[in-house]
């Protein structure tokens, strides 16, 4: 969960962060997706990308704060770092 951020559409607190980028550990990534602790993003993140996903109604929202939220637990890739 994402610190119990309620969904603006259905008010559920069953939410998670949207992970962008290439996962370094695919097995761990798939496990977190299956547990609904993260939601797969659609390619690379930009200023129009949502940052939070509601597991209840599938609503996606959130303002981009300039921080890249990519799945890079220890060995994953942050696309901004790869292409700098």
For 27, 44, 58, the CA distances from 51, given in Å and listed in that order, are 22, 12, 13
Is the pLDDT at 84 greater than 80? The verdict is no
Confidence of residue 2 (pLDDT cuts 50, 70, 90): very low
Burial of residue 15 (number of CB atoms within 10 Å: 0-12, 13-18, 19+): buried
Average of per-residue pLDDT across 24-42: 91
Average of per-residue pLDDT across 55-73: 71
The model carries a pTM of: 0.69
With H, G, I as helix, E, B as strand and everything else as coil, classify residue 28.
helix
């Amino acid at each position: 969960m994402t610190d119990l951020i309620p969904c603006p559409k259905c008010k559920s607190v069953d939410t998670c962060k949207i992970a962008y980028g290439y996962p370094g550990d695919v097995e761990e990534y798939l496990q977190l997706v299956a547990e609904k602790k993260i939601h797969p993003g659609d390619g690379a993140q930009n200023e129009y990308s949502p940052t939070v996903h509601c597991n209840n109604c599938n609503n996606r929202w959130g303002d981009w704060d300039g921080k890249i939220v990519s799945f890079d637990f220890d060995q994953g890739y942050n696309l901004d770092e790869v292409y700098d």
